[in-house]
Chain A
Amino acid sequence: MPKLNLSNYDTANFLDEMVDEKGQIRTSYTLFRERIEKMGWKKLNFLQHSTDRAQLSLGMTFNVYSDNQGLERILHLDIIPRIIAGDEWDLLEKGLKQRIIALNLFIADIYGEQKVLKDKIIPKELVLSSATYLKECIGLKPPKNIWCHITGSDLIKGDDNQFYVLEDNLRCPSGVSYMLENREILKRTFPEVFEKLKVRPVNNYAHNLRDMLESLSPQSEATIAVMTPGAYNSAYFEHAYLAQQIGAELVEGRDLVVKDDFVYMITTKGLKRVHVIYRRVDDEFIDPLVFNKKSLLGTPGLFKAYKKGNVVLVNAPGTGVADDKAVYAYIPRIIKYYLGEEAILDNVKTYICAEEDDRKYVLENIDQLVVKQTDASGGYGMLIGPKATKAEHEEFKVKIKANPRNYIAQPMINLSRVPTLTEDEIQGRHVDLRPYILYGDDIKITPGALTRVALKKGSIVVNSSQGGGSKDTWVLD
């Protein structure tokens, strides 16, 4: 039986989360490493195969967007967990709470008095020109004044062993079902080491989500629905999974009807009132009377019912304005403005192409930078300067000049690496981190996350649509 050999484990040029600069195993990984070395290669491989099968049988699949053939893929789950020390997590949690409070105040302000614009903390044109700024939301007063109830921020760890926020994902962040199901699978895979390490549990998420949704309605027995674009949506597994976990109805836009500005579900026994909708349909598609007129995914009249306070939408429409990649650059200043505190979690340095000095710098140094479209996500519309060709650089320069508001640039960050099972050995692969935040009467952050991993050697693109996989994230006590 080939023995598992970790002596060749390569940590050159990158921060590795298992092995430190001196080649020593970090404390959080000691026990785990001992365990897999004892286990050997054959057993590890066997466990990985069982995992693939478990995922298929659970139906943890997603449809690929460009693919209408109903082809389903699983999001590859690498069985080697990512392990985060308890004190490191506690600081992260503090930082995320601070950030989400400030972002929520910011969104409320933008659709309210706009003090932050009047005080010139962030350029007015920059905010109001964002494609995700919805003027229909001006004057909205969501229950408890909370806009972004459910957030899944993307963080990365750099060479300095610090976490940075890369994106805030305040709209319909996905992936939480993978955090929960990956954990279920890993508990079967490594039961002993899991127990010995005292990994913090994640299974309160569903209860917390349900409590939060219920708390938003004055109704004592609120009817809660999860709204999905349908079974062909790439995140459908998650929509169905969450509806089931929290005991909500899973509805599509066509299952709802608005009468006299109240929202109802169409049931076998007639209409039934709905009080809270956790919608996984983007702002643009929720109501064809107000937003995209061609949308077949929404329900006509939904927005008006919401405006009148007859139904709660989670998240509130319009939160995307704080998600704009150009607005992102100002978030440390936004935190300072609303809370009078320095940001606990750092941003990645960001150049705003709409600003002249920054644009000049970006155009001159495009081969060193990662350029992103301000209103895109999922790894689309992106240029990784150091890995792109000359022609691609030129192509992006033209795009930036034509529409500077649409682009930002960031230095290429060396994402940290975590040991990952490859075909014949264990190698470091780049990862990011997506923890999940619930904002209701209080803020709850589940001690765990979806860790996305770029499976291709050297790749830093972790998106599932582009060859990324996932890992369970163990937060230690």
Chain B
Amino acid sequence: MLSRVADHIYWMNRYIERAENYARFMDVNFNLSLDLQPDEAAQWKPLVVTTGDWPIYERLHKTVDKGKVIHFLGFDAKNGNSIHNCIINARENARAIRPEITKEVWEQINYLYYFVKEGTEKKRWERNDPRNYFIEIKKGCQMLYGIFDSTISKSEGWHFGKIGQLMERADKTSRVLDVKYHMLLPESAKIGSPFDLIQWSALLKSVSAYDMYRKKYGKLTALGICEFLIFDKHFPRSILNCLIGVDRSLMAIADQEKPYRSKVEKHLGLLRAQLEYSDINEVFELGIHEFLDAIQSKLNDVSESLFKTYFSVAESYTSPTPLITKNYQ
């Protein structure tokens, strides 16, 4: 498949996954804020930190409140990662590879596109309760995952898409855990208080993990939750499960003739092995923040080597002039 096409599929799925995550975060955080004391800044700032968009937020706003954060993460064109921009970017990527995806996939992306465009035009952030809006986006993205899996042949393109989706998912799970853990457990004494239960439940819900966690562990504990979100082999949003999926797709794409593994496979394999041969006690010994930080940086290495191995093949054949087609008349 064309390198450019592989790149677009990867990003199309990454943006959709990002939009879905953001939509879920917003819904969960809104629910949470109803249960807690009205300290808006304390409730909404961590959300912006989780997404990694805090530096941009700081530049745009002096204070943190519910309305500003909802607008910033959901609608703001100035925030490259806002749901609005994620959906637009996903569609731009889809448009560029229209013949590679099915009519069904295209129509669903297009539906989301018109939905967020309308949402922005009608200023949905001004509603007292914007949850339905975000739930609709979440569902729209989830439906897209289903359509993608049930209409696209599981060949190269599908696998590049899967890698994009799972890399994004692993990244978001690790960030949520990192930020929330930090907030919730500055000291171990508070574990078990009613206040904590609400927050820990919210953490699980923000990665759709509450039901599956309860089924496996029963009792909510900090250790159990961290273990589940990092090491669980079967939960679709645990970091390890995402990496296993990425590995499977990389194997499917790889040139079977070559006796050695490509750089991206090596990076991913090392990261996966590190998780598989570790356990939650080791993580706590090292410090959970340090551990998650290292994971993030290794995820970045994987992305970078994926780009070099498959997407930027062009650079070895052509001159690296930037290509601008936008102003063509």
Q: Mark B286-329, 1 if CB is under 8 A from A, else 0.
A: 00000000000000000000000011011001100101111111
A252 at the interface (CB under 8 A from B): yes
Please indicate the chain A residues that have their CB under 8 angstroms from the CB of B111 in the complex: 57
Please indicate the chain B residues that have their CB under 8 angstroms from the CB of A255 in the complex: 2-4, 314
B209 at the interface (CB under 8 A from A): no
| Structural contact, B327 and A68, CB atoms closer than 8 A | yes
Query: Can you spell out 22 A-B residue pairs with CB atoms less than 8 angstroms apart?
Result: A56-B114, A57-B107, A58-B103, A59-B107, A232-B328, A240-B95, A248-B99, A250-B98, A250-B99, A251-B2, A252-B4, A255-B314, A257-B318, A265-B2, A267-B313, A268-B2, A268-B160, A268-B311, A268-B313, A269-B255, A296-B324, A296-B325
| Structural contact, B323 and A249, CB atoms closer than 8 A | no
Which A residues form the contact surface with B (CB < 8 A)? Answer: 56-59, 65, 68, 229-233, 236-237, 240-241, 243-244, 248-252, 254-255, 257, 259, 265-271, 296-297
Considering the chains assembled together, what is the distance between the CA atoms of A350 and B46 in angstroms?
72
The minimal Cβ–Cβ distance linking A183 to chain B, given in whole angstroms, is: 16
Which B residues form the contact surface with A (CB < 8 A)? Answer: 1-4, 6, 92, 95-100, 103, 106-107, 110-111, 114, 156, 160, 253, 255, 310-311, 313-314, 317-318, 321, 323-329
| Structural contact, A297 and B328, CB atoms closer than 8 A | yes
Please indicate the chain B residues that have their CB under 8 angstroms from the CB of A265 in the complex: 2
The minimal Cβ–Cβ distance linking B126 to chain A, given in whole angstroms, is: 24
| Structural contact, A231 and B92, CB atoms closer than 8 A | yes
Looking at A230, A252, A268, A269, which has the most chain B CB atoms within 10 Å of its CB? A268
The minimal Cβ–Cβ distance linking B262 to chain A, given in whole angstroms, is: 11
| Structural contact, A230 and B110, CB atoms closer than 8 A | no
| Structural contact, A232 and B310, CB atoms closer than 8 A | no
Please indicate the chain B residues that have their CB under 8 angstroms from the CB of A254 in the complex: 4, 314, 318, 323
Considering the chains assembled together, what is the distance between the CA atoms of A270 and B310 in angstroms?
9
| Structural contact, B317 and A271, CB atoms closer than 8 A | yes
Please indicate the chain B residues that have their CB under 8 angstroms from the CB of A270 in the complex: 313
| Structural contact, A266 and B313, CB atoms closer than 8 A | yes
Please indicate the chain B residues that have their CB under 8 angstroms from the CB of A244 in the complex: 98-99
Please indicate the chain A residues that have their CB under 8 angstroms from the CB of B326 in the complex: 68, 230, 232
Please indicate the chain A residues that have their CB under 8 angstroms from the CB of B327 in the complex: 68
| Structural contact, B110 and A59, CB atoms closer than 8 A | yes
Please indicate the chain A residues that have their CB under 8 angstroms from the CB of B106 in the complex: 58-59
The minimal Cβ–Cβ distance linking B326 to chain A, given in whole angstroms, is: 5
| Structural contact, A236 and B95, CB atoms closer than 8 A | yes
Considering the chains assembled together, what is the distance between the CA atoms of A251 and B97 in angstroms?
9
Q: Specify which of A243, A250, A268 is in contact with B253 (CB 8 Å cutoff).
A: A268
| Structural contact, B325 and A268, CB atoms closer than 8 A | no
Considering the chains assembled together, what is the distance between the CA atoms of A267 and B316 in angstroms?
12
With A229-B325, A232-B326, A268-B156 as contacts: A257 and B2 at CB distance below 8 Å: no
| Structural contact, A59 and B95, CB atoms closer than 8 A | yes
Closest to B91 in A: A59
Looking at A56, A231, A237, A249, which has the most chain B CB atoms within 10 Å of its CB? A231
| Structural contact, B95 and A231, CB atoms closer than 8 A | yes
Please indicate the chain B residues that have their CB under 8 angstroms from the CB of A68 in the complex: 326-327
Please indicate the chain B residues that have their CB under 8 angstroms from the CB of A267 in the complex: 1-3, 313
| Structural contact, B313 and A58, CB atoms closer than 8 A | no
Considering the chains assembled together, what is the distance between the CA atoms of A233 and B317 in angstroms?
25
The minimal Cβ–Cβ distance linking A127 to chain B, given in whole angstroms, is: 27
| Structural contact, B2 and A296, CB atoms closer than 8 A | no
The minimal Cβ–Cβ distance linking B308 to chain A, given in whole angstroms, is: 12
Other contacts beyond A59-B106, A231-B325: 19, CB < 8 A: A56-B110, A58-B103, A59-B107, A230-B96, A230-B328, A231-B96, A232-B325, A236-B95, A240-B95, A248-B99, A250-B100, A252-B323, A255-B4, A257-B318, A259-B317, A267-B1, A296-B323, A296-B324, A296-B325
The minimal Cβ–Cβ distance linking A63 to chain B, given in whole angstroms, is: 10
| Structural contact, B317 and A57, CB atoms closer than 8 A | no
Closest to B93 in A: A231
| Structural contact, B99 and A57, CB atoms closer than 8 A | no
Q: Specify which of A58, A229, A271 is in contact with B328 (CB 8 Å cutoff).
A: A229
The minimal Cβ–Cβ distance linking A388 to chain B, given in whole angstroms, is: 25
| Structural contact, B2 and A59, CB atoms closer than 8 A | no
Please indicate the chain A residues that have their CB under 8 angstroms from the CB of B1 in the complex: 267-268
Looking at B2, B106, B111, B160, which has the most chain A CB atoms within 10 Å of its CB? B2
Closest to A226 in B: B99
The minimal Cβ–Cβ distance linking B303 to chain A, given in whole angstroms, is: 16
Please indicate the chain A residues that have their CB under 8 angstroms from the CB of B313 in the complex: 266-268, 270
The minimal Cβ–Cβ distance linking A185 to chain B, given in whole angstroms, is: 14
Please indicate the chain A residues that have their CB under 8 angstroms from the CB of B253 in the complex: 268
| Structural contact, B6 and A268, CB atoms closer than 8 A | yes
Considering the chains assembled together, what is the distance between the CA atoms of A271 and B313 in angstroms?
9
The minimal Cβ–Cβ distance linking B219 to chain A, given in whole angstroms, is: 47
| Structural contact, A266 and B3, CB atoms closer than 8 A | yes
Please indicate the chain B residues that have their CB under 8 angstroms from the CB of A237 in the complex: 98
Please indicate the chain B residues that have their CB under 8 angstroms from the CB of A57 in the complex: 107, 110-111
Closest to A232 in B: B326
